[in-house]
């Protein structure tokens, strides 16, 4: 499991499905599968285009009287892997199945969500019913089969395959971004580990060929596994990549005149087992072994793809898709991949008081006092409105809206949020807010009416609303226009994570944390609620929305003492019918944080050498 967190999350290392039969090697009779594995669910959002690997469905060998063995465990296939008995589901792929008994078959071209190509030959194993070595990815398991994944024959074959693959490989790991998460590197250490016997020259191909907005290709590094080609054809359904040439001159390229501009092209980088396809945004930003990974959720659109957040220090470097059968399988879209940038850039860093000329940095107690003073006078009147953003997490909304209802006495809440955009044929949705469904649920649970943003604009223009408590700085229309409207407000308290035209209009600007800096939940458009974990703590005065609400409530005299998002959820979650049964702790991703090999080099003050002299990396555009 831990491997899948460090390595690319392309499903290369699959966790065993829950409830799958396991093996008890000590028991001579073998196990009785008490809880048969659940049938594969096909309830994805777009089940219509979901692809089922066609080749990986060998029929169960029927127990015929003519010599075919009867199944030891009826309904399952029982085989022997490296001397251990393995009970597998019919149709289960050998590569995935043998992991359950601790065997490891190396592979490049196999991917559990793609068709079987069996062209890399790395997965060759010795089986009892074939005189020759067979590719594990393509060979159905038969009852009673004896499999050797580590015999001398297999080992020699693996070494030979590695030697062939490395024959023309440039081995420029020094400048290759895959280094550290490269299968070729890992398998070289494990299965080859000798110097090249090549006497002549290596073949040379195009390097750093830009394929499209997201991806750059190094043809020399490609091992011709065709995973990328199959992904574009089978999953993204936008065939843009192809295999050209033949023999050792084979190479990957886009079809003539085409660009790799699919919204899913970033996934080819993830599944490419080597450094041939690389992400242009992430390339050269960090070496993979420095990065730590925390399970999180993409906030790019309302699909809410499960992701890993790769970070170093207090800077986020990239999203990687995380396996989630219900939502995003193993994939995510390129728009979502790039949506991490707001986490690093233009953040509100300090508490600010005043507008225009009078603006100054303030301490937290000062700001809280000022808010309490102003809002206590207006509480319960028409002149005080609350604006909530569906980018905030459920816990943020639970606390802030409870504060709005109990302390500010509002009965309705205006909804802000990012403007809508384009959706596409697979994952990406037109609504770019990750938690609209959660906001609806919570408002209903707390007895608050939701009103659209346009009504707020009218109310401000007509002078009805004089003061505003805004949770989140995202607005659905041009921020500079909104800022003009907000300029008319007498008092604007804004909890925002990023600087914009609107933050300039806030009398009290409270720096808000983003989701990677706190734990919590999002509810996606299909009503699936997902937990995410914290990657790193926020800086200085930056606090999550819920923490600001709790602090404000205490200033109002409420005895709130919630110390974490978990406290918040346990207090108000049960009031929301849809969230009442949500197991907050149980739904947490099993991995907390997979730490990088080596933390960022630090100087005596905890910052990297050169940091003080040249400024923090985020100031330099990372």
Residues forming contacts to ligand SF4 in the complex (CB under 6 A) are 169, 171-174, 176, 178-179, 182, 184-185, 221-228, 252, 272-277
Regarding 205 and contact with other proteins (CB under 8 A), the answer is yes
- Give least dist CB 293 to ligand FES, A: 25
* Residues 245 to 304 in contact with other proteins, rule: CB under 8 A: 283-285, 287, 289-290
H-helix or E-strand containing 408? none
Over the window 136 to 155, marking each residue x when it contacts ligand FES by CB under 6 A and - when it does not, the resulting string is: -x------------------
Output 108 or 572, the one with its CB closest to ligand FES: 108
**Among positive and negative, which fits the CA dihedral 275, 618, 544, 607?**
positive
Q: Which does 612 bind (CB under 5 to 8 A by kind): ligand FES, other proteins, ligand SF4, none?
A: other proteins
- Give least dist CB 241 to other proteins, A: 17
Q: Which does 198 bind (CB under 5 to 8 A by kind): ligand FES, ligand SF4, other proteins, none?
A: other proteins
* Residues 119 to 138 in contact with ligand FES, rule: CB under 6 A: 119-123, 135, 137
- Give least dist CB 76 to ligand FES, A: 23
Instruction: Tell me the HSE value of 37 on the side-chain side, using a 13 A CA sphere.
Output: 18
Q: How crowded is residue 27: how many other Cβ atoms within 10 Å of its Cβ?
A: 10
Residue 258 per-residue DSSP state: -
Q: Which does 135 bind (CB under 5 to 8 A by kind): other proteins, ligand FES, ligand SF4, none?
A: ligand FES
Regarding 351 and contact with ligand FES (CB under 6 A), the answer is no
Cα separation, 225 vs 223, in Å, equals 6
Q: Nearest 5°: CA angle at 443, between 441 and 446?
A: 105
Regarding 109 and contact with ligand FES (CB under 6 A), the answer is yes
Residues 6+ apart with CB under 8 A from 577: 441, 444, 445
Over the window 164 to 183, marking each residue x when it contacts other proteins by CB under 8 A and - when it does not, the resulting string is: --------xxxx---x----
Of the ranges 54-62, 106-114, 203-211, 482-490, which one interacts with ligand FES (CB under 6 A)? 106-114
Output 253 or 474, the one with its CB closest to other proteins: 253
Nearest to 411, CA basis, from 448, 458, 384: 448
Q: Which does 585 bind (CB under 5 to 8 A by kind): ligand FES, ligand SF4, other proteins, none?
A: none
Distance of CA 124 to the CA centre of its chain: 32
Dihedral over alpha carbons 359, 363, 369, 373 (to 10 degrees): 0
- Give least dist CB 189 to ligand SF4, A: 11
Over the window 183 to 202, marking each residue x when it contacts other proteins by CB under 8 A and - when it does not, the resulting string is: -------------x-xxxxx
Burial tier of 294 (Cβ tally within 10 Å: 0-12, 13-18, 19+): buried
Output 283 or 376, the one with its CB closest to other proteins: 283
Regarding 110 and contact with ligand FES (CB under 6 A), the answer is yes
Cα separation, 598 vs 292, in Å, equals 9
Q: How close are the terminal C-alpha atoms of the chain, in Å?
A: 30
Cα separation, 323 vs 332, in Å, equals 10
Cα separation, 243 vs 251, in Å, equals 6
Burial tier of 145 (Cβ tally within 10 Å: 0-12, 13-18, 19+): buried
In the complex, which residues of this chain contact ligand FES (CB under 6 A)? 107-110, 118-123, 135, 137
In the complex, which residues of this chain contact other proteins (CB under 8 A)? 172-175, 179, 196, 198-209, 219, 283-285, 287, 289-290, 597-598, 601-604, 608-614, 617, 620, 622
């Amino acid at each position: 499991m831990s491997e899948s967190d460090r390595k690319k999350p392309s499903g290369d290392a699959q966790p065993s499905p829950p409830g799958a039969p396991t093996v008890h090697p000590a028991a001579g009779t073998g196990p009785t599968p008490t809880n048969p594995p659940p049938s594969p669910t096909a309830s994805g959002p777009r089940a219509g285009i979901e692809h089922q690997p066609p080749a990986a469905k060998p029929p169960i060998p029927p127990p015929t009287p003519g010599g075919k063995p009867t199944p030891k465990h009826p309904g399952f296939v029982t085989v022997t892997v490296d001397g251990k008995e393995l009970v597998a589901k019919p149709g289960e792929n050998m590569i995935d199945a043998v992991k359950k008994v601790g065997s490891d078959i190396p592979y490049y071209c196999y991917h559990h969500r793609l068709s079987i190509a069996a062209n890399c030959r790395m997965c060759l194993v010795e089986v009892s019913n074939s005189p020759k070595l067979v590719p594990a990815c393509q060979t159905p398991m038969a009852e009673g089969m004896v499999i050797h994944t580590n015999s001398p024959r297999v080992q020699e074959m693996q070494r030979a395959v590695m030697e062939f693959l490395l024959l023309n490989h440039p081995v420029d790991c020094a400048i290759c971004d895959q280094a550290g998460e490269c299968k070729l590197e890992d398998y070289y250490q494990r299965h080859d580990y000798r110097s090249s016997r090549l006497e002549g020259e290596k073949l040379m191909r195009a390097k750093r060929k830009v394929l499209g907005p997201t991806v750059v290709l190094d043809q020399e590094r490609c091992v011709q596994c065709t995973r990328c080609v199959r992904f574009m054809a089978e999953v993204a359904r936008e065939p843009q990549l192809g295999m050209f040439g033949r023999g050792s001159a084979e190479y990957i390229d886009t079809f003539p005149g085409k660009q790799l501009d699919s919204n899913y092209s970033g996934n080819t980088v993830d599944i490419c087992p080597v450094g041939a396809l690389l992400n242009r945004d992430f390339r050269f930003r960090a070496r993979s072994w420095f990065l730590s990974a925390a399970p999180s959720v993409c906030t790019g659109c309302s699909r809410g793809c499960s992701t890993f957040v790769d970070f170093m220090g207090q800077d986020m470097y990239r999203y990687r898709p995380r396996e989630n059968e219900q939502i995003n399988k193993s994939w995510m879209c390129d728009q979502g991949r790039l949506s991490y940038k707001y986490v690093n850039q233009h953040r509100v860093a300090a508490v600010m008081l005043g507008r225009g000329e009078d603006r100054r940095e303030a301490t937290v107690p000062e700001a809280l006092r000022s808010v309490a003073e102003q809002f206590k006078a207006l509480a319960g009147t028409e002149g005080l409105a609350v604006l909530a953003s569906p980018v905030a997490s459920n816990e943020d909304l639970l606390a802030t809206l409870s504060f709005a209802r109990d302390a500010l006495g509002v009965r309705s809440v205006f909804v802000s949020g990012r403007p809508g955009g384009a959706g596409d044929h697979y994952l990406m949705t037109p609504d770019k807010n990750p938690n609209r469904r959660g906001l609806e649920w919570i408002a209903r649970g707390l007895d608050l009416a939701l009103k659209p943003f346009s009504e707020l604009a009218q109310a401000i223009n007509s002078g009805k609303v004089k003061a505003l408590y805004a949770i989140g700085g995202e607005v659905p229309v041009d921020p500079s226009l909104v800022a003009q409207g907000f300029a008319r407000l007498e008092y604007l308290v804004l909890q925002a994570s990023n600087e914009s035209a609107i933050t300039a209009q806030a009398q009290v600007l409270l720096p808000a944390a983003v989701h990677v800096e706190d734990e919590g939940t999002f509810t996606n458009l299909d009503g699936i609620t997902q937990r995410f974990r914290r990657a790193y703590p926020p800086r200085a005065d930056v606090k999550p929305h819920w923490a600001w609400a709790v602090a404000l409530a205490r200033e109002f005299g409420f005895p709130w003492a919630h110390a974490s998002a978990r406290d918040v959820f346990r207090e108000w979650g049960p009031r929301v019918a849809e969230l009442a049964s949500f197991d907050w702790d149980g739904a947490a991703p099993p991995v907390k944080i997979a730490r990088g090999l080596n933390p960022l080099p630090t100087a005596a003050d905890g910052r990297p050498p050169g940091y003080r002299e040249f400024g923090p990396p985020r100031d330099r555009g990372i």
